[in-house]
Amino acid sequence: SQQGEEDPQALSIQEGENATMNCSYKTSINNLQWYRQNSGRGLVHLILIRSNEREKHSGRLRVTLDTSKKSSSLLITASRAADTASYFCATDALIQGAQKLVFGQGTRLTINP
């Protein structure tokens, strides 16, 4: 079963607009990560935010974390056609007695030129 749930499942915007994706999770965490995946390729790590952090920036990416609501958001500013990809949140969850990274179902982002 998935730990995280992304919302929306699909998002289509015009180039230059901002894209916001949300992630909700179920259990307490040490950190939350966002990954990107181009079609048919492996996942690429974007950013990690620790449970004691509320906001983090990396280039055009801004991630927020609200542990009281068990939710996170990923904002991509000034989107580009090359940002078209699927984006996944992942949390380190204690499952079956071991810490492991559990992924959500992802948001498919399409940037229209």
Partner 1 sequence: DTGVSQDPRHKITKRGQNVTFRCDPISEHNRLYWYRQTLGQGPEFLTYFQNEAQLEKSRLLSDRFSAERPKGSFSTLEIQRTEQGDSAMYLCASSPSGSVGELFFGEGSRLTVL
Q: Report in angstroms how near the CB of residue 2 gets to partner 1 at its nearest.
A: 6
Task: Kindly state whether residue 44 participates in binding partner 1, applying the rule CB under 8 A.
Answer: yes
Task: Kindly state the smallest distance separating residue 54's Cβ from partner 1, in Å.
Answer: 19
Q: Is 88 in the site for partner 1 (CB under 8 A)?
A: yes
CB of 16 to partner 1, least distance (A): 27
CB contact at 8 A, 10 and 110:
yes
Closest CA to 51 of 39, 68, 35, 38: 68
When asked if residue 102 is in the footprint of partner 1 (CB under 8 A), the reply is: yes
Nearest to 105 by CA among 45, 47, 55, 35: 35
Where on the chain is the footprint of partner 1 (CB under 8 A)?
Answer: 2, 4, 30-31, 33, 35, 40-45, 48, 88, 92, 95-106
